[in-house]
Homo-oligomer: A and B are copies of this chain.
Amino acid sequence: MTAQQLTRNQALVLDALSAAEAPLSAYTILDKLRGDGFRAPLQVYRALEKLQDFGLVHRLESINAFVACAHPDEDCCSHGLTAFTICESCGKVTEFHDHMIEERLAAFASDRNFRPGKTTIEIRGHCAGCA
């Protein structure tokens, strides 16, 4: 996915996520953007979908929420697997990549002729500050 000019809605949603300290739900984003003319969930979901396509936003499956990519410039999300730690106290999310985990998962899939699509790795717990 190559660099991309964002539409107004996409830019607003990305800004909202970038400004947030923690992941936001689609409906929280909607509420934040009502002042900018947002009125319906679909406006948010559509922008989120594109932003995910562009590798600028990640969806955290285990908490139904979204975060801005930590290093979008590296096109990080297309070259492999992204994993997350998610603090259940403060919401802080850390994004990381581990080549060995990627290989092990790929090997497992390959052994079973399973063709992998999107992979989710999320560790919920408590961060250093909240321990």
| Chain A residues near B (Cβ < 8 Å) | 61-62, 83, 85, 87-88, 94, 96, 98, 100-101, 104-105, 108-109, 112-128, 131
Residues of B within 8 A of A101 (CB): 101, 104-105
What 7 A-B pairs are tightest by C-beta distance, nearest first? A113-B128, A116-B125, A117-B125, A61-B62, A115-B126, A120-B122, A119-B123
A96 lies within 8 A of B108 (CB): yes
- Report Cα–Cα, A37/B96, bound state, in Å: 47
From A113, which residue of chain B is reached at the shortest CB distance?
A: B128
A121 lies within 8 A of B121 (CB): yes
Residues of B within 8 A of A94 (CB): 112, 114
Residues of B within 8 A of A112 (CB): 85, 94, 127-128
Report the minimal beta-carbon distance from A57 to chain B, rounded to whole angstroms: 16
Residues of B within 8 A of A100 (CB): 100, 104
Ordered by A's residue number, 29 sampled pairs between the chains whose C-beta atoms are within 8 Å are A61-B62, A61-B120, A62-B118, A62-B120, A83-B105, A85-B108, A85-B112, A87-B114, A94-B112, A94-B114, A98-B104, A98-B105, A98-B108, A101-B105, A113-B128, A114-B127, A115-B125, A116-B125, A117-B123, A117-B124, A117-B126, A118-B125, A119-B121, A119-B122, A120-B120, A120-B121, A120-B123, A120-B124, A121-B121
